[in-house]
């Protein structure tokens, strides 16, 4: 065996030996970022770093593809109603929302989801002393 082949074989064997295939290895997610997110509130955060953090922590109703098409995520279907003044979303089965450290079923009416919409429109960051 030539020296380059021996080196490649040794490197390959070391790589496989370093991989831990146990399920416990998948329990921790570490993300290294050069900057801190501006805030940990998806309604108020505006930085690119914040978007990266939220992508790891939260699911979206829909996403935008690189081709600028709307792609389903939590919402599997949607339909504009009332002359495009309302939007009805059909959520994936088993979806729950977490707020104040508790899980709850998704909002079932426009009145219950209106609180989130209102907060998104009116929320302001708190002043830092």
> Tell me: the pLDDT tens digits for 96-116?
776 655 666 666 555 556 666
pLDDT, residue 25, reads: 58
Residue 50's CB: how many other CB atoms inside 10 A? 20
Cα dihedral across residues 18, 24, 29, 30: positive or negative: negative
Number of structural domains the chain divides into = 2
> Which pLDDT tens digits describe the chain residue by residue (129 residues)?
565 565 555 554 544 444 555 555 567 777 788 888 888 888 888 888 888 888 888 888 888 889 999 999 988 999 999 999 888 888 888 877 766 556 666 665 555 566 667 777 787 777 654
126 backbone dihedrals φ, ψ, rounded to 5°: -75, 145
**Considering 43, 58, 73, which residue would you say is the last residue of a domain?**
58
Residues 53 and 65 placed together within one structural domain of the fold: no
The strand ranges marked E within 10-120 are 62-64, 70-72, 75-81, 86-91, 97-99, 102-104
Domain coverage including residue 70: 60-123
- Give the length of the chain: 129
Residues 15 and 54 placed together within one structural domain of the fold: yes
Instruction: Please state, in angstroms and rounded to a whole number, the distance separating the CA atoms of residues 86 and 109.
Output: 12
User: Is the pTM here over 0.75, yes or no?
Assistant: no
The encoded tokens of residue 54 equal 């939220």
**Considering 21, 43, 58, which residue would you say is the last residue of a domain?**
58
pLDDT, residue 21, reads: 54
Residues 65 and 30 placed together within one structural domain of the fold: no
Residues 39 and 89 placed together within one structural domain of the fold: no
């Amino acid at each position: 065996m030539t020296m380059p082949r021996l080196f490649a074989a040794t490197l390959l064997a070391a790589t496989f030996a370093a991989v831990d295939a146990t399920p416990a290895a998948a329990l921790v997610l570490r993300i290294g970022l050069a900057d801190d997110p501006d805030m940990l509130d998806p309604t108020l955060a505006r930085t690119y770093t914040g978007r990266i953090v939220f992508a790891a922590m939260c699911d979206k109703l829909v996403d935008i593809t690189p081709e600028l098409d709307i792609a389903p995520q939590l919402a599997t279907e949607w339909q504009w109603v009332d002359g495009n003044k309302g939007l009805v979303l059909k959520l994936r089965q088993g979806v729950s929302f977490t707020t104040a450290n508790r899980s709850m079923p998704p909002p079932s009416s426009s009145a219950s989801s209106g609180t989130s919409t209102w907060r998104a429109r009116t929320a302001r960051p708190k002043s830092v002393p």
